[in-house]
Every structure is written in C-alpha cells, then in structure tokens.
Amino acid sequence: MTNETTQLSNERIVRFPRRLPTNNPPPLKGMPLNDRPAPLYALAWVCGYSKLYKNLSVGESELVDSCNHSDVVSKKWRQVRDPDCKYVPRPLPYPGPDGKMYLIAFFNDVDPAANHTSRSMNAANDRVICAAKIAFGVDQDPSLDSTLAWYRLPLTWAYHERMARKKARWVAKGRDITEMDGGFSDSESETEC
C-alpha cells in the first residue's frame, strides 16, 4: 500500500486516502479528524460490467444486463437481507468514472447504530456484508473478495488513476501521448437499452 493509506487515527493527515482496507475503516462522515471533516466513503467491491452481469445472471430466468441489473440486485437483497438491519439501505451498484462498477454494501454516513467500523473489521462474517455479497452475485466469484475496500467518494480520482495507467502504457510502447484520446480501449462496453 502507498503511504496514502496510513492509519487514520492519531496521525496528521495531509489528505484522506482514496482507499482504505476493511480492517482500517474510515470515521463517520463529517467527524472531525485533525481539524478536517471525514469525507464520504463507500464499502464496496469493484468489477467490470460484464462480470457483474454474469454473476447476477446465475439462478435468474433471464439475462441480466444494464437495463435490469438494479432490479435483480433489489430482488436478491429482499430475499437475503437481515430484517433487523433497517438502518442499512439496500446495496447500490454504482458505475464509476473509470469504467468499473462499484458494488456498494454501505457508506460511512449511516446511523452510528449500524456500527460500520466493527462490521467492516469483521467483513467475512458480518450478516449485512454477506447479504450484500449475495445480492451482488459476488459470492459467485471469489476473486472479487480481494476488491472489498472503503473507497472515498466522489470517485473522480478513479478516472485520473486509470488515465495515468493508460498514459504509462502508451509511453512504454513508444507512442505519442498527444494522439491519445480520452476513452478507454480496454474498457468493457455496456449493453444498450
């Protein structure tokens, strides 16, 4: 990890990290830390569109795509959610500016009774996180487990990171970066509705 993902507790923060591991959750949104309010973070898995649609299609009678994926997540959530967890909103599939889907289990701005800190630190056994994992179809693809982390919102930084990686690939291949467009040749396309 970079020096940006350091402990948030008693250290002086120059800026809040873009990502935090589940065992180092952010404070509640707005909580003052070193004279700065904590930003909004989302606990989420990250994957490409096609992987999300494929995982959600398991057990469904119809193909899942960009037109119905939110409906399928809602349906699965209603089937598996813990009725005692009324303070946690339904999981949210969020298209990031980097061409990936952020599968948000919950945010750091929920009711303090939700206890996002202990839930995050016990992610493998937490009922809400496990229910969100099933609702998103993440349980169908164990490789996505490693992407579960806290992501700072808004996700504009994700686009800039992706563009920097693309620029580095162009330079490594000896290409002229002035010819590089803003799109992503390696991004997955969405199905048109």
List pLDDT tens digits, range 52-82: 999 888 887 778 888 888 888 888 888 888 7
Q: Is residue 99 part of a domain?
A: yes
* Residue 104 pLDDT exceeds 60: yes
* Residue 45 pLDDT exceeds 90: yes
Q: Is residue 78 part of a domain?
A: yes
Q: Is residue 191 part of a domain?
A: no
CA dihedral 75, 112, 97, 95 (to 10 degrees): 0
Q: Is residue 50 part of a domain?
A: yes
Q: Is residue 188 part of a domain?
A: no
* Residue 17 pLDDT exceeds 60: yes
Q: What is the pLDDT of residue 164?
A: 79
Domain residue limits at 149: 3-179
Average pLDDT, the chain: 78
Q: What is the pLDDT of residue 193?
A: 31
The CA-CA-CA angle for residues 128, 65, 181, to 5°, reads 105
Mean pLDDT of 89-102: 85
Q: Is residue 187 part of a domain?
A: no
* Residue 46 pLDDT exceeds 90: yes
State pTM to two decimals: 0.72
Q: Is residue 186 part of a domain?
A: no
- Residue 188 has φ and ψ, to the nearest 5°, of -85, 135
Q: Which residue has the higher pLDDT, 13 or 139?
A: 139
Peptide bond into 154 cis (omega under 30): yes
Q: Is residue 16 part of a domain?
A: yes
The answer for 25, left when phi > 0, alpha when psi is -120 to 50, beta otherwise, is: beta
Q: Which helix (H) or strand (E) covers residue 135, if one does? A: helix 127-135
The CA-CA-CA angle for residues 50, 56, 132, to 5°, reads 115
- How many domains does the chain divide into? 1
Q: Which of 185, 27, 45 is nearest to 109 (CA)?
A: 27
Place of tokens 């991004």: 187
Q: How many residues does the chain have?
A: 193
